[in-house]
Structure 1
Amino acid sequence: MVAQLVRLKLTLLANTFRRSVWQTVGLVLGSLYGLGVLVLVVAAAVAGGTADPVVTGHVVTVVGALVVLAWWVVPVFAFGVDATLDPRRFVTFAIPRRTLLAGLALAGLVSIPAAVTTLGALGVSLAWWRHPVALVAGVLGGLLATALCVVGSRATTTALAPLLDSRRSREVLTIVAVLPLVLIGPAVGWLANGVEVTVGGSPDGLDAALAPLVQVVGWTPLGAPWGLASAAGEGAWGLFLARLAISVAALALAWWVWDRSLARELVTPRGGGEAAAAKGLGWFGRLPATPTGAVAARAATYWLRDPRYAASIAMVPLLPLVLLAVGLTNGAGGGLLLVMAPLAAWLLGFGISNDVGYDNTAFALHVATGTPGRVDRWGRVLPVLVGGLPLSLAFALVGCAVAGRWDALPALLGLTLGVLGASLGISSAVSARLVYPVPRPGESPFKSPQGATMATMLAQMAAMAITLAVSVPTLALAVPAILLPMATLGWVALGVGVVTGAVVLLLGVRWGARTYDRRLPELLQQVMAFG
């Protein structure tokens, strides 16, 4: 039965090549990317081990701990990223639970991330190719680390499954997940600067920077298996046995948690989540009782209640924090906050670039009621325009106040208004022409549908490129007016930005409405195929 589950996973992976061209292209590109990362990691480990095995061991321990942590945490935010072998599908089969556990664990290795992790964990052991005993210890540590990645990932997702069934819990978890994700870049920059200062360009400096961290991480289940080779290479057999015991105990605990959670899953099926209590008509009772008002009310409801939209909204209030952190890291200070308003305007406008795809099966209601393209396009634009305009203007005022650059306000306002109008207009046009798969309602906004990566990238790059192209006149005036500075040029940028944004918005909505009316049956067919 274990072999049968592995064959089933291999069959599902092979069928990916038959579903669509995009899935095949995405899988091939993902494989090539994983192969490149694998070659780079192994080559770096071998080179580092030849030069200084001690420092290389510290680096492997820290980076390996991050890999294990990612395996444990990312699937939780993705609400079960790999559901091809969902345990609930085997409830009606008389499969012993221990056999099912073993089969699911081995089947979990059949994927591009798992293959890269396994080969990488084994490959870094080549850093100790000059020391046979340390090499064997490195292979053992790599196997234990891979097992901790797969089993720990399944244990966390299965144990937290009842919590993730709650829609409110998923929404809260989405918002919580956004903060560390957007702070990864500033944190890496700050850490790199700190290490560069501490290292001073020498291996001894790098060892001094990493040694305190390794002393902590090496005694945790995240880093213990990665430190086995270092301990064996240094002849510290007591440390080797201690780290081995920690790794085995952590693997046994993760296996036990997964076993208990799986037993609960198979015996007590989960429900569909809590039912929300009705609280009036919401936005439908506040907006005009017109076709455009109805579409706008539905769109506003999505922006406030759908976690896929909530993730986009959560990014906007975090912009000041992220930009301030980046500014303090690279020395720009509060001056970097001047880009906050146009960036927020672009994010808000870009948020509707695939609104039809996010509708999922609800888009059939537009087709059944004969909703005209003009009504559909303006109904989706108005909530973003009404809410995003004052927010973007407020960000412009705050950015000028913090940077002490009130002279840049006219140019910044022109750039912000131009970007907001252009992004909304281009998004209205693009979303009627380029529709790509997105997470279904109720799924994690961080979950990427299988085979949709390449289509998503191409559609988003096209939308961003067109938005940038139509914003060039405003950028050409606003950027010199802010940097030089030139007050007169700033006022010209304000006028050009307002006119450009308004014209692109009107033309984009008009073109999108015509495309919508012409492609309505095709749009419905595409959206239904995503379901």
Structure 2
Amino acid sequence: MVAQLVRLKLTLLANTFRRSVWQTIGLVVASVYGLSVLFLAVTAAVAGGTFEPALTGQVLTVVGAVVVLAWWVVPVFAFGIDATLDPLRFVTFAIPHRRLLAGLAVAGVISVPGLVTALGAVGVSFAWWRDPAALLAALVGAACAVALCVVGSRALTTVLAPLLDARRSREVLAVAAIVPMILVGPAIGWMASGVEKTVDGATVSVSVEAAPAEAVAALVGPVAAVAAWTPFGAPWAFGSAVHDGAWGLLAARVAVTLGTLALLWRAWDRALARALVTPRGGGAAGVGKGLGWFGRLPATPTGAVAARCATYWLRDPRYAASVAVVPLLPLLLLVVGTTSGAGEALLLLVAPVVAWVLGFGISNDVGYDNTAFALHVATGTPGRADRWGRVIPVGVVGLPLTVAFALAACAVTGRWDVLPALLGVALGTLGTSLGISSAVSARLVYPVPKPGESPFKTPKGATVATMVAQMVAMLLVLLVLLPTLALAAAGLLLPEAALAWATLPVGVVSGVAVLVGGVRWGARVYDRRRPELLQQVMAFG
């Protein structure tokens, strides 16, 4: 049974090369990227183990703990990201659940992330190539770490399946996952910019630039000491314990690892047995009261589209992910400014960035409609009503929000002199991004997660198509904004207040012009390509 499930997973993986050109390109790009990261990690580990074995062991423990934690947490937030071997698909085959359990565990490694993790775990073990005993212990720890990754991931998703099956729970988790994903990068940069350690009772600041090895040791050492006692970092610390001759410590780490693995296996076994006997339901959402936005907006084609899009932005986690980013942008820019030396001045970018994020959010609205787009075709919704209906909800919220962020940025930084230029750039960005998105979304449609799926799920073959479409849209926005940006830069660099004030009307007028022109052009393309758009969207399903 194990061999059969492995062959099935390999067959599914091989079939991705035959489904479409985009899927083949996406898989190749993902594989090349994974192998590149793998090569760099293994090379760094071997080099570090040669010159700084103690420090390298600490770094491997911390990084390995993060890898195991990611394997456990990401599938919970991105529920349904890989359902190729969903246990519920085997309910009617009467397979003993223990055999199914073993087969699913081994087949869980057959994927790009799984293979990269397995090869990386084995590769970094050769950091101890000078010490055969430590190398053997590290290889055993690598096998245990990969087992913890796969079994822990499957166990948590199976145990939490009844909760995650509820659509509202998935929506809350999906939006909540945005926060750590955005803040993890700035947090790492802040910690790496400078650390403190205590020497002879005195607190000494250690600069990464001044003494990299000492700074890394001061930062990583305490974290590694704690992580090595957790199930996430214990298997990665086998090699360090043997290298240091700490056999008692090795026994404790082995006990933590094997004990956790046994508990996870037992929990997965029970949850899988329960799921095979009582499969979970469809997770339908509760029925709301009233007409919502449909009762508040005019009963016209434009009003109907606007009401549905407003409902999307409030209730669909795929749109809510974009909204959740907005409150975090000031904090993100503040951390980046602090670590880079730019200071609070970087907050002046928050208004244009918020305007761009909101405007770009409708650049693939047709793709997000999925099968609901058939209603537009069946009812003959005019292109003008469709385009304006998608713009209005974003514009109504985005306009005051952009102005508020611009005023707040000037108040925090004390740079009220740049307010006219900042408003011109921000409002111009909002109008331009909305106009370009209205035009692009009628021409370039790419696969996105289906309604009800995790917003982090990447449809097969969609990676390259998404990158191309988004790159085209961003380049068009930047090209159209060049005159406004140039005028704003001149107003900031030159002692002429008139240039800064001139940026405001130029930005507003150009933004409105691009918005109106983009909506009209997009409406004409939409009316002409309506059947082709529906065919594309249906093909994504």
TM-score, normalised to structure 1's length? Answer: 0.98
CA drift at 1:258 = 1.1
SS in 2 for 1:471: helix
Cα deviation for residue 269 of structure 1 reads 1.2
Q: CA deviation at 1:260?
A: 1.5
* Aligned equivalents of 1:205, 1:318: Cα separation in 2: 29
Q: How much has 1:331 moved relative to structure 2? A: 3.0
- Report what 1:270 is aligned to: 280
Helix, strand or coil: the match of 1:6?
Answer: helix
SS class of match (2:211): coil
Whether the aligned pair in 1 keeps the contact of 2:81 and 2:456 (CA below 8 Å) is no
2:341 counterpart of 1:311? no
The aligned runs of 1:230-379 (5 Å cut-off) are 230-379=240-389
**1:198 shift after superposition:** 5.0
Q: CA RMSD in A?
A: 1.3
What whole-Å deviation, never above 9, does each CA across 1:88-130 have from its counterpart, x for those lacking one? 0001111111100100011111111111100110011111111
Report the CA distance between 1:447 and its aligned residue.
1.1
Are 1:374 and 1:513, in contact at CA under 8 Å, matched by a contact in 2?
A: yes
Q: Which runs of 4+ in 1 moved over 6 A?
A: none
Show the counterpart of 1:446. 456
Task: Provide the C-alpha distance between the structure 2 equivalents of 1:205 and 1:413, rounded to a whole number of angstroms.
Answer: 42
Deviation larger for 349-358 or 150-159:
150-159
Q: Secondary structure at the match of 1:183?
A: helix
1:431 has 2:441 as partner: yes
> Cα offset for 1:192?
1.2
Task: Kindly report which structure 2 residues correspond to 1:52-451, keeping only aligned pairs within 5 A, or say none.
Answer: 52-195=52-195, 197=206, 200-201=210-211, 203-451=213-461
For residues 444 and 77 of structure 1, the distance between their equivalents in structure 2, rounded to whole angstroms, comes to 8
Task: Deviation per CA, 1:19-78: give whole Å up to 9, x if none.
Answer: 000000011111111111111111111111110111110110011111111111111111
1:180-199 deviations in whole A, cap 9, x for unaligned? 11112211110211259355
Take 2:330 and 2:214, find their aligned partners in 1: how far apart are those partners?
Answer: 37
Superposed displacement of residue 470, structure 1 = 0.4
Partner SS, residue 91 of structure 1: helix
Aligned to 2:11: 11
Return the letter of the residue paired with 2:213: P
Aligned to 2:202: none
Whether the 8 Å CA contact 1:198–1:209 is kept in 2: the answer is no
Provide, for residues 327-382 of structure 1, a one-character-per-residue CA deviation record: whole Å limited to 9, x for no partner. 23333332211111111100000000000000000000000000111111011011
Q: Which residue of 1 aligns with 2:476?
A: 466
- Percent identical among aligned pairs is 72
> In structure 2, what is the equivalent of residue 36 of structure 1?
36
- Structure 2 residue identity aligned to 1:503: A
Distance 1:260 1:328 in 2: 49
Offset from partner CA, 1:216-237 (integer Å, 9 cap, x none): 0000000000000010111111
1:129-159 residue CA offsets vs partner (Å, 9 max, x unmatched) = 1111001001001000011011111111111
Alpha-carbon distance in 1 for matches of 2:107, 2:27: 18
Tell me if the contact between 1:80 and 1:157 (Cα under 8 Å) persists in the aligned partners: no
Amino acid at match of 1:197: V
Using the alignment, how far apart are the partners of 1:491 and 1:207 within structure 2?
51
Helix, strand or coil for the counterpart of 2:173? helix
Post-superposition CA distance 1:144-180 (Å, at most 9, x none) = 0011011111111111111111122122112211111
Whether the 8 Å CA contact 2:425–2:507 is kept in 1: the answer is: yes
Three-state SS of the structure 1 residue aligned to 2:330 is: helix
* TM-score for both structures, normalised by structure 2: 0.96
Provide the C-alpha distance between the structure 2 equivalents of 1:57 and 1:207, rounded to a whole number of angstroms.
Answer: 11
Cα deviation per residue 1:220-279 (whole Å; 9 max; x = unaligned)? Answer: 000000000010111111111111111111111111111111112111111122442331
Secondary structure of the structure 2 residue equivalent to 1:228: helix
Gaps of 5+ in 2: 196-204
8 A contact 1:422–1:500 mirrored in 2 = yes
| Contact in 2 for aligned 1:436/1:455 (Cα 8 Å) | yes
Aligned-partner Cα distance in 1 for 2:85–2:434: 40
Note the 1:484-503 alignment, pairs <5 A.
484=494, 486-503=496-513
Size of the alignment, in residue pairs? 531
Aligned amino acid, residue 190 of structure 1: W
For 1:36 and 1:184, the matched residues in 2 are separated by: 22
Q: CA deviation at 1:518?
A: 1.0
Structure 2 distance, partners of 1:278, 1:222, is 42
| Distance (whole Å) between structure 1 residues aligned to residue 402 and residue 244 of structure 2 | 58
C-alpha distance in structure 2 between counterparts of 1:179 and 1:197, whole Å: 29
Once the 2 structures are TM-superposed, how far is the Cα of residue 450 of structure 1 from its aligned partner? 1.4
Letter in 1 for 2:67: V
Name the stretch that deviates more: 163-172 or 137-146.
Answer: 163-172
SS of residue matched to 2:461: coil
**Partner of 2:93: helix, strand, or coil?**
coil
Post-superposition Cα deviations, 1:391-411, rounded to whole Å, max 9, x if no partner, equal 111111111111101111110
Q: Is the 8 A contact 2:144 2:257 kept in 1?
A: yes
- Partner AA of 1:138 in structure 2: A
User: Is 2:206–2:214's contact at 8 Å kept on the other side of the alignment?
Assistant: no
Secondary structure, counterpart of 2:206 in structure 1: helix
Q: Displacement, 1:483?
A: 4.7
**Which residue in the other structure is 1:478 paired with?**
488
